[in-house]
Chain A
Amino acid sequence: MACKAIIVAEHEGGAVRDITYELLGLAHKLAGEAGWNAAADIKAVFLGNGVEKLAGEIAARGAAEVIYIEGQALAEYTGDAYHRAIEEVVKAEDPAIVLFGHTPNSWDAAPLVSAGLDRPLATECSAITFDGGKALFTRKVFNGKFVQIVDLGGAQPLIATVMRGAAQPSAPGGGGSVRKIQPSFAAGDLRARFIEIKKGETGAVDLSQAEIIVAGGRGVGSAEKISVVRDLADSLGGQVGASRPVTDMGWLPHEHQVGSSGVTVSPKLYIACGISGAIQHIVGMRGAGYIIAVNKDRDAPIFGVADVGVVGDLFEILPALSKAVKEARGQG
């Protein structure tokens, strides 16, 4: 029953999440590098209740076998239930590597499995490669200022959580099988009880529909100084957006937060001011038509996604730009 790679599949709202196929794609890439037999050595573990059809979809896209663990205790995600079920499968299969998505739920479960198996874990990996038989994991440190390459000391299994976009999704085909098993525990054995999924705070502003957004980050410095961002937004007839620290610190209400845990926006124009460009922010705004970044640090990652950039102090650039915009619109 042994295999080389186990990927932890995810589903949500009755569909397989895309990260599942990216993990399978990555497992196939690793199989090529390590010389595994991809047609037999790559398996997926899939947990839920009444989602066998989805297990079949995963088997048809690059998993030799989908180990589908079905039970009432797994109907909704809880770390307590999921880590137990995953640990059991990993122990039985004894793979070389276990890949989780770096998603809220899999990131929650992966460390539990790591400690349960007493094996180290590399989180938030943007790349994994086998280099001369040794696996190297690439991840960010210092909030993206540097990239760290780690080695897990040849542990078996190697365990990692993998970011979206780290690998090409697996292609349809392969015709794997589904093996349905039951968890060894019941819902009543758990110490975590799912209550509900609810919507976070919302407010009057809906940035998802905005055509023009001027967004401020930690570089703005204080709640009062948000006014320079607002002035520019007003001159353009746009809305004010924010990075997470700005809403965390209460400089603006939560509904202004752009990013993975806020809103995803797609305006025609996005001006990022004093925002470094962390991945969680970028995923929320990279769909904008035209991106301008103002940041005093030439190395800030935001310049990597922007169309044009200004390396400078936002408190000099924004007022000048507000004035120029007003003049251009005949309001100056």
Chain B
Amino acid sequence: MKSLVLAKQVPGNDSPFRIDGAGTWIEEGNLTFGLNDYDRYGLEALLKLKDAGGVTEVVALTVGPERASAVLRTCLATGADRAIHVKDDALAGADPLSVAKVIAAAIQGEDFSLIVAGLQADDDNYGQTGPLLARLLDRPCATAVMGLELQDGAVRVERELENNRLQVVDLTLPAVITVQTGINEPRYASLKGIMAAKKKEIKTVGLSDLGLDASIVGSAASRMKTVRLDVPPKGEGAEIIEGGPDEIAAELVKRIREKTGVI
């Protein structure tokens, strides 16, 4: 049983984030990039199934510029078997529906029984690529998965709801799921894994290789467009207490006493 993990490259949490000159995205110059956190959990979910024998092959796929191949290397070093990199200048800024169409085309003929995406990407926070792909492929889908188990011709998943509740649902394979963080404990690449990854294949394809036209899936064709990015509005907000640690502590004790009575 073949499986696919979608792996997106995103700026790391500690990157310096600044709105770019055009005002529609962020300056990329000083960012450090890494594998989207949700996708680390997605990869681990498939590696676990492979360890247990249910899955025979784990393939990682990214859609992104040259630098995005680094996340495929990460996946290969961590245990994925091979990788697909869809790279085309015409895709810069493509909307999620376009990206999903590109992914659908890139895996045509591959026959993946289980496709795993992250619940959302830490950059755009769209939270839609996985289910978009599911619908384009006409496969059942479940999002925000916090537990999964392979069954005969199906996968049983636990979807996260609010207030610490889970919905258990069986999906007939082939299926698509998106994982929520915390579903498992992602492993890290070992030195051996990093060495082994060097011999693994990354297939790079562009839109023309996929028989796709930029006028249908490229950024120019994307209907969802960013008008601008803004800094979030700041409300009234907290009164900021200043001073050295001990002065601040003394002031906080006073406030806690007056306002809450718990001391």
Contact = CB atoms under 8 A, between A and B. Distances in A.
Is the A/B pair a real complex?
A: yes
Interface of A: 77-80, 83, 103-105, 107-108, 110-116, 118-124, 136, 139-155, 190-202, 211-212, 218, 236-238, 244-245, 247-248, 250, 254, 260-264, 268-269, 289-293, 298-299, 301, 303-312, 316-317, 319-321, 323-325, 328-329
A292 B141 contact: no
A150 B225 contact: yes
18 contacts: A79-B142, A104-B159, A112-B134, A119-B97, A123-B126, A123-B128, A146-B19, A150-B226, A195-B170, A200-B165, A202-B164, A245-B181, A290-B256, A290-B259, A291-B238, A303-B237, A306-B238, A324-B249
Interface residues of B, number: 88
B237 A104 contact: no
A329 B232 CA distance: 40
B198 interface: no
A266 B150 CA distance: 40
B167 A146 contact: no
Contacts, number: 278
B142 A192 contact: yes
A303 B238 contact: yes
Given A145-B17, A200-B164, A328 B171 contact: no
A78 B144 CA distance: 13
Given A152-B223, A309-B241, A321-B253, A261 B162 contact: yes
Contacts of B224: 120-122, 150-153
Contacts of B238: 291, 293, 303-309
B222 to A, nearest CB: 8
Interface stretch (B58-66, B117-125, B189-197): B117-125
Interface string B213-249: 0000000001111111111111111111110011011
A198 B166 contact: yes
B60 to A, nearest CB: 21
A305 B134 CA distance: 38
Contacts of B245: 312, 316-317, 319-320
B122 to A, nearest CB: 6
A193 B144 contact: no
Given A192-B169, A329-B263, 4 more contacts: A304-B235, A306-B238, A320-B248, A321-B248
A308 B239 contact: yes
Contact of A324 (B130, B132, B252): B252
B135 interface: yes
Contacts of B124: 141, 148
Contacts of B130: 111
Given A121-B97, A195-B168, A262-B164, A289 B260 contact: yes
B152 to A, nearest CB: 13
A70 to B, nearest CB: 21
Interface in B138-195: 139-144, 146, 156, 158-172, 175, 180-182, 185
B252 A292 contact: yes
Contacts of A140: 125, 232
B255 interface: yes
Contacts of A316: 245
A118 to B, nearest CB: 7
A124 B169 contact: no
A325 B226 contact: no
A122 B127 CA distance: 10
A248 B231 contact: no
A77 B253 CA distance: 49
B165 A197 contact: yes
Contacts of A263: 164
A103 B260 CA distance: 34
Given A115-B97, A147-B229, A197 B167 contact: yes
B123 A193 contact: no
A310 B132 CA distance: 43
A323 B141 contact: no
A201 to B, nearest CB: 8
Contact of A115 (B100, B143, B236, B242): B100
Contacts of A155: 223
B95 A244 contact: no
B116 to A, nearest CB: 15
B262 A250 contact: no
B131 interface: yes
A120 to B, nearest CB: 4
A106 B139 CA distance: 18
B168 A197 contact: yes
